[in-house]
Amino acid sequence: MMLVFKNAKMYEDGKMITRNISFDGVALSPIVEDLSHFDESTVVIDNMAILPGFCDVHVHLREPGFSYKETIKSGTLASARGGYTAVCSMPNLSPVPDSKEHLEAQLEIIRRDACIPVYPYGSITVAEKGEELSDMEGMADDVIAFSDDGKGVQNEEMMISAMKKAKSLNKMIVAHCEDNSLLRGGYIHDGEYARAHGHKGICSESEWGQIDRDLKLAEKTGVAYHVCHISTKESVDVIRKAKALGVDVTTETGPHYILLDDSCLEENGRFKMNPPLRSPADREAILEGILDGTIDMIATDHAPHSAEEKGKGLQKSAMGVVGIETAFPLLYTGLVKTGKLTLERLVELMSVTPRKRFGINSDAGFTVFDLNEEYSIDTSEFLSKGKSTPFEGVRVFGKCLLTVYEGKIVYCDIEKFEEEKENG
């Protein structure tokens, strides 16, 4: 089937350019002549957006070890449906990729089942226990960076050692910052909702305090340092100040920290993640950090769990929500449609900057979205095994029609194209 995207909005060199583009099933080609020479088998679709494939540097694909939550196959199919052509997989697996041997268990599945590139993280410490450095040198050639995601590295000397080792290997430290001594049994933000409903809260300092510690260590060691899923106004502030000092630091946040806060909480496990939804003031600071460039990229922290694990309310449900299939429409609707952000800037946050920072091929795929299609987020349609999202039922604009990686279609809304063909 030949596709022609008429009057397509195409991202090129930081700008959206309108042009006619054909797709022959392998590659995109500009159309310099009129469309009359295409035969009746050609499907012509008007006013689509053609964007570079997105890159998510923070996903949990759960395999090996927890395939009942997600598999590399289901997770990468879901990613392609969300417009992604590259993802970086976190190491809280079984076995934890803390050695070349343990990493190979994951790499074997990736080679067999992934429909888009998966770049695994190696752990910082053995079994992510924070007691002994992993075999960072043995894994360096096969991992995108090192992280103990899901756990903060509590010991300062251990983190210094990790940073020095990563620096010598020309690899990045990617940190989940969480001071366990400040958690005090909390499981949602220590804010108004927690106090009003009798929940134990997680204080903001548990996040920003460890970020502040690590930034000083990063300045001292010269390591390339990246902070995961920031959620507090203080985190934005300390990172902004570190950047002004020339520290080699980047950071990410997630769609839920941009679009939600603890005033949106319900007594349901689909609102529970780590870090938690913070206050409205924190949410405003996160948006400000995006606008002024303090926050470099948006990652989903896609964290699937079983329905049983997420069905135990705020207190007892597992931490984590899914987001790889909904990130772009949510952000397009909440930020671009409302005039807070340009589409070009959103593409930078979701594709250009993460690829540049993590050294991931920037010219290996594209995705096509119908920005005018409005629909409700329906978890029954997800390709991910995980169905728990705080955005269930939310009305959004922007539906993925096609994702292509290296000339291969990895996702296609075939019903949409068949409908367009029938409509002539």
Please list the active-site residues: 301
Note whether 159 and 183 are within 8 A (CB): no
Note whether 253 and 229 are within 8 A (CB): yes
Task: Please name the residues in contact with 207: beta carbons below 8 A apart, sequence gap of 6 or more.
Answer: 177, 178, 179, 230, 231, 232, 234, 235, 275
Burial of 327 (0-12, 13-18, 19+ CB in 10 A): buried
Strand locations in 283-394 (E): 297-298, 365-376
Q: Residue 223 to residues 160, 162, 177, 359: CA-CA distances in angstroms? A: 10, 10, 16, 16
Q: How far is 173 from 246, CA to CA, in rounded Å?
A: 17
Q: Name the residue among 415, 407, 424 with its Cα closest to residue 46.
A: 424
Note whether 144 and 358 are within 8 A (CB): yes
Q: How far is 146 from 67, CA to CA, in rounded Å?
A: 22
Residue entry with tokens 């903001």: 204
Residue entry with tokens 């469309």: 35
